[in-house]
Chains A and B, each alone.
Chain A
Amino acid sequence: MSVSLQNSLYSAAVYTFEQVVFLVPDIPPDAAQRRLPVEAVASVAFSGPARGTLQLHAGDGLLPLITANMVGMDDPDEALQLDALGELANIICGQFLPALDSVNAFEHKPPEVFTGEAFSFESPAVLSARAEIGLESSRADVLLFLYPDSQSRSEP
């Protein structure tokens, strides 16, 4: 994994959590946060000067927390919680992509959100950066997958 991509992914994720969810991330997550199972995953595919997927994995307990902070509502329903995770992934992706190419534009597809065992990811894309973040009593992992043909162009 490239250190500069890793740093850019952390920057995009931290900025988004601070600005959109009003949470100050803990980096790295502590042992208790790391042990939490993943509750849902939001995935955003992108293309352009590089091609790949950005995934946001939400640890147990994160969805109601981020949704309440984003919309200012107690006890948001499940549909709203999954919508919130997808939007966060979308925003992190948009914030991160200029790190891959700051001149040419990327297109990204609408986020797809999966819960629990419904998520599986089989792709020739390669895990190229990962940001692990603690958020209050939960955690979020942001994973960047790049297709091999675009990875070489994006590496500094």
Chain B
Amino acid sequence: MSINVLLIDDSAVMRAMVLKSLQMTGVPLGAVHQAANGVDGLAILRQHWVDLVMLDISMPFLRGDEMLEQMRADSDLAAVSVIVISSERGTERVARMQELGAVHLPKPFTPEQLRDVVREITGVRT
């Protein structure tokens, strides 16, 4: 079973790095969508089937924590798995996102760490 992924980060470099790491994990990937902020991310989620969202926190227009709140309040999106990728550690925003069911992966991370988190949150095996 392959998984459809949405990468949301205002940094094109980070999106490319996360995608490269994802490809190195061996996790079977289906469609990979990308967005530079939460507004565009929500729009993609409402148009496409996505199994896993990889979400930055600090972004223009709609931050990652604000986007996650909106996802959890939307019955169509509430169950989508979310990994928060951020260099923030231990902040209230990170704690709130974890309360909402997201898994936090601090930067920098190795492909092995990413693989373990993807397995944990999606149940997909490589």
Residue of A nearest to B90 (CB): A105
Count of interface residues, chain A, beta-carbon cutoff 8 Å = 29
Number of A-B residue pairs having CB atoms within 8 Å of each other in the complex: 62
Q: Which segment of B10-18, B40-48, B71-79, B118-126 sits at the interface?
A: B10-18
B107 cross-chain contacts in A, Cβ below 8 A: 20, 90-91, 94
Please tell me if the beta carbons of B11 and A87 are within 8 angstroms of each other in the complex.
yes
Please tell me if the beta carbons of B16 and A73 are within 8 angstroms of each other in the complex.
yes
B89 cross-chain contacts in A, Cβ below 8 A: 94, 97-98, 105-106
Please tell me if the beta carbons of B91 and A106 are within 8 angstroms of each other in the complex.
yes
**A-B pairs with beta carbons under 8 Å apart, 6 shown:** A70-B17, A87-B13, A91-B107, A93-B87, A97-B89, A108-B87
Q: Which segment of A28-36, A78-86, A116-124, A126-134 sits at the interface?
A: A78-86
Assuming A105-B89, A105-B91, A109-B58, is B108 touching A70 (CB within 8 A)?
A: no
Count of interface residues, chain B, beta-carbon cutoff 8 Å = 21
Please tell me if the beta carbons of B108 and A71 are within 8 angstroms of each other in the complex.
no
Please tell me if the beta carbons of B110 and A87 are within 8 angstroms of each other in the complex.
no
Q: List residues of chain A with CB under 8 Å of any chain B CB.
A: 15-16, 19-20, 67, 70-73, 79-80, 83-84, 86-87, 90-91, 93-95, 97-98, 104-110
Please tell me if the beta carbons of B108 and A95 are within 8 angstroms of each other in the complex.
yes
Indicate which residue in B20, B87, B90 contacts A91 across the interface (CB closer than 8 Å).
B87
B88 cross-chain contacts in A, Cβ below 8 A: 94, 105-108
B12 cross-chain contacts in A, Cβ below 8 A: 79-80, 83
A86 cross-chain contacts in B, Cβ below 8 A: 11
